[in-house]
Structure 1
Amino acid sequence: MKLCSAIFLFILYNLSAQQNTIETIYFEFDKFDLTPRQTEVVTCFIKDIDSSKVESIEIYGYCDDRGNDEYNFRLSNNRAKTIQKLLVSAGFNNQTKIIIIEGKGRVRIKADTVENLHETRSRNRRVDLIVVKKNNLGKGIYNSFSNKIKVGDKVFLENILFNLGSSKLTSIAKKELDKVVVILEKQKNMHFEIRGHVCCTPPIYSDGIDKDTKERKLSRNRAKTVFNYLSSKKISKNRMTYRGCGNKYPLGKGDALDRRVEFLITKL
């Protein structure tokens, strides 16, 4: 069997809603280096990535629930750096392609509620390697905060979507916004407008009804929710504004993607 076809031994593959490739690399207990066999397999996968189609790469390291927080943050960060080194050695530019390298520390679990504690812990000793594909949404619309964006461009993240009639953030949306916070903390000169959108509204109405407030301000409320969340994470309110766009700008890719927010870049 060829090496590349054996990649499933070490890496779990799936696609997120944003069509980004997520690869998970597992580590031995208390280790941040890879065995020669693991290194070969991961390197083989990296070489198969078409860099011309990659917008950016994010690397997140994790540990199991044992040990203190300080040690586990250091260990998870070292695991992320191990994968970073393999990417750089394979030719990926560390400045423009790899935008996030972060150790997340330990994944907390309740030991008495887990049936297979050993397996659960082994799955938490990992690095998630997220390969963000280049924009395919049209001119001036991007699916990540890349170095190529300019004033007037819009960033649309498919993990920041809302349930029908709701302006409340889902758990998935919050996780995605936490990643946005990390990027905004690095790009402190970036200013933007948060634009909310709706789907499934008759043409005679310009906006949808928020089922919680009963107001026909659903798109505005979605934008405001994101504004407030970013503000709660210490992103300055002076850098951002928000407004509702109603049903004016459907993407034409299904109702779910129209229940979204976009970030319009206003200053860099």
Structure 2
Amino acid sequence: MLRFLKYLPLLFISFLHAQEEVVHSVYFEFDKYSLKPEQLKDAVNFIQSQDTTRIESIEIFGYCDDRGKDAYNFILSQNRANTIKNEFIKKGIKNKVIVTIEGKGRIMIDDDIIENIPEVRSKNRRVDVVLNLKPLPKIQMPGYYNSIQKKHVVGDRIYLENLLFDRGSSVLTSKSKSDLAKMAKLLLKHKNIEFEIQGHICCTPPYQKEAIDRHTGKRKLSHNRAEAVYKYLILKKIPKHRMSYKGYGNTVPLGKGSEYDRRVELVITKI
């Protein structure tokens, strides 16, 4: 009976990159190198189920059990490897991707194995299909920064330490304007960056997500803070199409104290 192992990912980590191998084993009947149609189909499905853009190469290794002479077993193991290779090529898998087709001969049984020898031998009558996969691209998670960086990813948050507000106020302080002016120069330099200006507040009851702006008397404080930054950046020649703004009320506290929650952040939306 031909049985298939589940995918076996092996991760090798080096200083340069992580290489992944996926090994799939196909088992043969004693002294046979032919397979039933459904068995061949399963072997092909193993390849087709992978992310083909990551397949760097395919290696095929044939093996035999410990019975018989070495010379015969090398031929048999090579024929088993060729059976798999021929089916792959027949199903459209490019020959240049298959870099190794090798019969390894017989696998000897360790002297200390005295139980289940027939089962051990059945597992040694096999072909191993080894996929060498290209490393996955490095995933960059959004980060928190206090200035514009040379490289950003969507979701990065830029938090200016001095872009804070007085309690109940949406008016930019002189210190806030000074830091925003520096930020505007960087934004003019990095013309590809688009962003959302997010306003925040602190110190309101849980059932009141927004606070009253003492300058307008309306419960739109975080919105007004974001809008104040938006209008200031427009004065500094930042194009409107690169910016949007929104108030988030008290829903995103930093956990550093109330004064740090009376803030505005820039969140990268497009690069």
TM-score normalized with structure 2 length: 0.47
Point out the structure with max Rg over C-alpha.
Answer: 2
